[in-house]
Amino acid sequence: MARYFYMIVFLNMTVHIIFNVPLILIQNRFNGAVISMALSIVIGTILSYMFIKAMSKYPYNGLPEIFMDLLPAYIRVPFLIFLSLMWIAAGSLAIGSFAYLIKLYLNPEMDLRIILGFLVLVLLYGSTRGTQSILYKVEITILTVSPFIAYIIFKALTSNYFYPVHIKRALQYSLEMPNYSSVAAASYIFTGYINLVIMNRNIQAKRILKHFWLIPVLGTLILAFTYFIPFGFLGIKSIGDFVLPWMVTVDTIRMEYGFIERASFLLVMIFMQLSILFAIINWNVGLELMKSALGIEDRKTGKRLFTLVFLGIVGFLTVYFQETLNQRSYFEAVKIWFNLRLPVEILLVLALSLLSLRRKQA
């Protein structure tokens, strides 16, 4: 059903705060972040339209099934494995970034390894569920979380400490040359559609196209909110002093009549729901891709063992990877992944579009 798709897209759009996309953009605030964002909206919209269009030609087929008929095994298998690893990496990086946030704001006295290890265990359970079940969970989570997101945005915009004049000042730097890493980061916001590679088995891509206008509209709104609201609170200079600008921003908001006073805890809880869900989806897609690449059939005896072993290794690597890096180099790694992601995504979309065109002629 199409609504699940839009929820995943929405999820991806909100989850990019944890990935510190705003930070990458904010670092480039004087170097054409605004233009990069505008550019990425165009790129993201075009890519997602092409991809959905192409996928709609293969109803109820995931990417592995499509490739099965069209590509020889020596291209198909490595490509699928590579894609699978990209997905898994996205989930791992998200959960790793989130573990830093937890460590900083929720459990400062707890060992980072334990926090991450625990989150990985949660993911292990969550991501081995069926794709359809995960879609149901997506819907429930998004519906419960979005009122709170709306509330925080409302609170932010009506706060006494929100200075729209800062946003005007930030806009003074609109006409700078865009740079690649900002575009790569900002276009990430649209990337939720790409989960269709597996979700197309459960979602009818044709129906998505009916409400396609939602994607650019939502994307623009969310990108604008997430980029500009921190400016309104922190100004264009001091915003560069913070590792997690959004957390500091929300910490400026007080909920006078709320059950809790500090809005930042509300945000942490929202992030928790969203980032775990995001990682669950990514790992699930990565797992499905890997299973199809290696030809491990559903509901056979080997299936459970394989998923557990595979995700166990992934989970261990996630913890190990974070253990070896400090926070700075971790975010650098995220940036590298972003920069790698955009070309891979474009490649994938183009390849699929070409294949689907051939199908039309045939």
Partner 1 sequence: MNRKAVLVCTFAVLAGLLTGCAYKDIDKRFFVTSIGVDYSKNPQKPYHVSLKLAIPSPQVQPGKTKFQLITEDADSIAEAVRVMKSKVDKDFDFGHCRVLVFGREILRKHQAEVLNWFMRRRDIQGIAYMALGDPTAEKVIKVKAKSERLPSNAIILSFDETSNDSPYIIPEILNDFYMRLKEEGIDPYLPVIQPLKDTYAINRVVLVKGSRLSKELNMDETRILNELLNTDRRGLIDVKKDENEFFVNVESFKTKTTVVIPRNTKPYVNVHIKIDGYIESSEKKLSHNYELLEDQRLASEVISNRVKSTLETIQKIGSDPLGLGLKYQAKHGVSEDKVKKWNKIYPHIQFKVKTDLKLRGTGIMY
Partner 2 sequence: MANQQKIVSTLKEQLGNSSDFKIQDIDSFRKKIILVYIESLIDYKKINKDLIEPLLFCEKEDKYLVHLLSLPPCRQLKTGDNLLSLLIKGNLLIITTDSIFSYNAKKASNNQPGDSSVEMAVLGPQKALSENLSTNINLVRNRYPSENLIMEQQTVGTMSQTSIALMYDKKLVDHDVLRDVKKRLPEIKMDMIQAIGQLENAMTKKKHHLFPIMMITERPDRIALNLSQGKVIILMHGTPFGLIVPAVFFDFMASMDDTSHTFWSSRLMIAIRYIGLLLTLVLPALYIALTSYNPEVLRSQLAATIAGSRAGVPYPSFFEVTFMMLAVEMLVESSMRLPKAIGPTATTVGGLILGQAAQQAQLVSSIMIIITAFVAISNFTIPVNPMSFSIRVARYPLILLASFFGMMGVAAGLILLICYLTDKRSFGTPFLRLYWGSSRRIEKINEKPKGEQG
Residues at the contact surface with partner 2, assessed by CB under 8 A: 1, 3, 60, 102, 106-107, 110, 115, 118-119, 122, 125-126, 129-134, 136-137, 139-141, 143, 201-202, 204, 259-262, 265, 269, 272-273, 276-277, 280, 298
The least distance separating partner 1 from the CB of residue 93, rounded to whole angstroms, comes to 22
The least distance separating partner 2 from the CB of residue 148, rounded to whole angstroms, comes to 13
The least distance separating partner 1 from the CB of residue 339, rounded to whole angstroms, comes to 28
Q: Which of 254, 325, 339, 350 touches partner 1 by CB under 8 A?
A: 254
Assigned token pair, 121: 């265990």
Q: Per CB under 8 A, does 107 bind partner 1?
A: yes
Q: 254 — phi, psi (to 5°)?
A: -115, 135
Taking the C-alpha atoms of residue 174 and residue 165, their distance in angstroms, rounded to an integer, is 15
Number of chain positions touching partner 1 (CB under 8 A): 35
**CA proximity to 178, closest of 346, 37, 343:** 37
Cα atoms in the 13 Å half-sphere on the side-chain side of 202: 16
x-or-dash string of contact with partner 1, 38-57, rule CB under 8 A: --------------------
The stretches of the chain forming alpha helices (DSSP H) are 2-15, 21-27, 33-56, 63-70, 73-105, 112-127, 131-157, 164-171, 180-186, 196-199, 205-210, 214-234, 245-251, 263-293, 301-324, 327-361
> For residues 118 and 228, which CB has a smaller minimum distance to partner 1 in the complex?
118
Q: Which of 69, 261, 323, 332 touches partner 1 by CB under 8 A?
A: 261
Q: Determine contact, residues 73/65, Cβ cutoff 8 Å.
A: no
Q: Which of 81, 85, 105, 337 touches partner 1 by CB under 8 A?
A: 105
Q: Per CB under 8 A, does 151 bind partner 1?
A: no
The least distance separating partner 1 from the CB of residue 244, rounded to whole angstroms, comes to 10
Please name the residue that has the structure tokens 């990565």: 286
x-or-dash string of contact with partner 1, 158-197, rule CB under 8 A: --xx-x-xx-xx--xx------------------------
- DSSP structure class, residue 296: P
Q: Is 177 exposed, middle or buried (0-12, 13-18, 19+ CB in 10 A)?
A: exposed
What residues make contact with partner 1 under the rule CB under 8 A?
Answer: 104-105, 107-111, 114, 118, 160-161, 163, 165-166, 168-169, 172-173, 233-238, 241, 248, 251-254, 256-257, 261-262, 264
